[in-house]
Amino acid sequence: MNAQVAVLKAKLLGATELAATRALTWGLLSFVFFCLPIFNVLSFLAFKRAQASAREAGAPLPTRATVGLLCSVVTGIFCVVCWVWMITDIRADNARVDARKAELSKQIAAHAPGPELDHPFACALAELHVLTNGYDGSTNTGQFRDVDCAGAVTVKNDRAEMPDFKFRTSSSDPQKAATICFKLGARWFVQEARATGCELK
């Protein structure tokens, strides 16, 4: 009977050591992949296995199991904070863009109809177009910011262009330059925003 108890205790101690090592391993990996909480969950489960087998064996819980759990808790909190920050930042960006689009729409609607395309009107049309439709295949319109509308407007018949329309796609990126192509229908509108000049007829 004593031999059987000793064998069982040895198995439990082995399971405890293995689970503790896994808890530490998963906990350390959670620092590398902190945006993926799967390693935090694995570390917690391994800690619970180590805790249960250690209790059953009547042995102390290995320190590395606790260290692994603490690592996974720290990275789990960091992961939650990062996701909250990202969601808050995206919502703030969307609110900024919506407010700016509403302001530009009012400015455009207040402009008198007719064949005149003055610079402020052209800038408002250009910025609203970029915020709504993106540029050069990009649909992440909420990223556009720091608009610099310095180019002169050239009108030829029912077409017009405005070069040097500059903006940033993020706060850390350098400014991009575009040429805005306009067309006159019932009133002026932006046909496209492109990297090269427009085809004026």
Q: Could you list the mean pLDDT of each consecutive 10-residue stretch along the chain, which spans 201 residues? A: 72 87 91 84 93 86 92 91 89 87 92 87 92 70 76 89 86 82 90 81 66
Closest to 127 (Cα-Cα) out of 146, 154, 155, 153 = 146
- Going from N- to C-terminal start, the domains of the chain cover 2-86, 111-194
For the whole model, what pTM was predicted?
A: 0.66
pLDDT the model gives residue 139: 56
pLDDT at residue 1, as a whole number: 56
Distance (Å) of CA 188 to CA 121, 125, 160, 171: 9, 8, 9, 31
Task: Evaluate whether the domain defined by 111-194 bears CATH number 1.10.760.
Answer: no
